[in-house]
Amino acid sequence: MKKYLLYISAAAFFTSACNKQLDLRPSDYIDPEGAYQNVDDVNQGLLGAYSALNYYSSIRYTSLITDENMLPSENSTGSGFATHRWQYDGSFLHDSWKDNYIAIDRLNRALSASYGVAVKPTEHEALAQYQGELLALRAYCHLELVRNFAEKYESAAMGVPYMDSSYIGKPSRLTFGETMARINEDLAAAKGLIPAGFDDRTRITKAAVAALQARVALYEKNWDNAITFATEAIDALPLANRTQFPQIWKDNSTAEVFWKLKRVIGDEEVGSFYTQAGFLNNPAGRRIYYAPSFKLVNLFDKTNDIRFSSYITVDAGRQAAGNVPNAVTKYVAANTESNLADIKLLRTGEMYLIRAEAYAEKDMPGPAADDINDLRATRIAGYTPQAFANKTALVNAVMTERFKELAFEGHRHFDLRRRNLNISRNPEDAVNALGAVLLTPNDPEYVFPIPNSELRANPNVKQNPGYVNK
């Protein structure tokens, strides 16, 4: 596993040519001194690390196992069924493990080489920016790994190996607390390197680093940092208005998007995980593979909440024919024929909810209520601000709002884990789940397993509790 991650990932990025006059090196070895000779080479290495990220590692599996979607009978593909039914074990190679460590290996190679490349007098700021992006991306990838594979979100629990260089070794899992400390170190360093004027939303900007710091603080339960960094992010990028918001999901607007993965023709189509391409133009003739759960659909004000119409379509004709009427259309492209849309990784809406939760935990009900009400007023036409009786009511409101606001963006599983809450499906959402209705924090499947292939290659990595090593 480690050899695959360290060698194949690098070879996927740089192509080399040789002839009979050239000295030959082992085919799985890439010499950083040869691959990285100037600042532009560092940028190319950085772009290659970005390219390793996709929806399989960031959205698909976390969506499958939760209560935010259901498996309709018309889906006869078999894709994702075992995961949706919580039937996985260590033989399951989660893409998040593979893809994030591939990206980490790529960026570590580029970062290491960046300190020795030739730099022109006009390139110092660009090189610093690339180094900052590499550090921030390393932090992001490790955060994704720890969200998926940490034993628990508690300081002494098992986290993940933190790879800060490319080498052949057998690293152990750090604790969750140690992993998060390393993530924070990388983000702090990145923030000092990325220029404030850099504003490419398909890459990590200084504002995106602040948003990542807020997300990290949320998982650490460091409420002071959560408020500080969420406020910094909110001040940098306000919420989208009701006109802009639907256009975010058609890639016609970057309002409130700190960072997104750019998708082009040939990339995986995240929307095709949920519906067959062309669904909006022909609902009756296209399949729904995974539908939004009735549990989620029923939480929305379907008439006034701009999020509902931006995320979900209800087709009365399908309902009359006895099919599931609700379809996820959050990732349908602007032409409605393609499911190819950019993947939004960090948004201002999340920052409001992080800050609201932090205020609630610090017994600051006024600011917490303000953030919840401000977000709802921006999303829901005619919304009347509400009062919340106590801290419990505030936290419950935040969790409900996160369920709606961040639906199908890869957060629901982790939100339930943060709060040690059950994954509970309503009966109408579990018709094809083969009894997979309730998953508790005491069940092994509540946490994804470390892939057995990794354990065989590296005995220093320990499996999560409840799984048998094979």
Tokens of 158: 């098992």
At 446 the pLDDT is 98
Q: How far is CA 356 from the centre of its chain?
A: 21
At 12 the pLDDT is 35
- CA 415, CA 403: separation in Å to the nearest integer? 9
Hey, what's the torsion of the CAs at 50, 178, 192, 349, to 10 degrees? Answer: 60
- CA 72, CA 74: separation in Å to the nearest integer? 5
At residue 418, φ and ψ (nearest 5 deg) are -60, -35
Strand ranges, E, within 34-115 = 69-70
Helix (H) or strand (E) holding 315: none
Q: Which 3 state secondary structure label does DSSP give 103?
A: helix
At 31 the pLDDT is 57
Tokens of 164: 């800060």
Alpha-carbon distances of 460 from 12, 59, 345, 456, rounded to whole Å:
27, 28, 32, 10
- CA 6, CA 109: separation in Å to the nearest integer? 10
Q: What is the identity of the amino acid at 356?
A: A
pTM: 0.93
Alpha-carbon distances of 17 from 34, 45, 396, 469, rounded to whole Å:
12, 18, 59, 42
Helix (H) or strand (E) holding 345: strand 343-347
Q: What is the identity of the amino acid at 444?
A: P
CB neighbour burial string for 311-336, b if at least 16 within 10 angstroms, e if fewer: bbbbbeebeeeebbbbbbbbbbbeee
Nearest to 35 by CA among 52, 5, 10, 56: 10
Per-residue pLDDT of the chain (470 residues; tens, 9 = 90+): 333 343 333 333 333 333 333 333 333 445 555 789 999 999 999 999 999 998 887 898 999 999 999 999 999 999 999 999 999 999 988 999 999 999 999 999 999 999 999 999 999 999 999 999 999 999 999 999 999 999 999 999 999 999 999 877 899 999 999 999 999 999 999 999 999 999 999 999 999 999 999 999 999 999 999 999 999 999 999 999 999 999 999 999 999 999 999 999 988 899 999 999 999 999 999 999 999 999 999 999 999 999 999 999 999 999 999 899 999 999 999 999 999 999 999 999 999 999 999 999 999 999 999 999 999 999 999 999 999 999 999 999 999 999 999 999 999 999 999 999 999 999 999 999 999 999 999 999 999 999 999 999 999 999 999 998 76
At 45 the pLDDT is 97
Nearest to 296 by CA among 72, 84, 68: 68
- CA 217, CA 233: separation in Å to the nearest integer? 13
Tokens of 465: 């509790």
Helix, strand, coil shares of the chain, percent, nearest 5, are 50, 5, 45
Tokens of 89: 């074990």
Alpha-carbon distances of 317 from 39, 282, 289, 320, 426, rounded to whole Å:
57, 11, 17, 5, 24
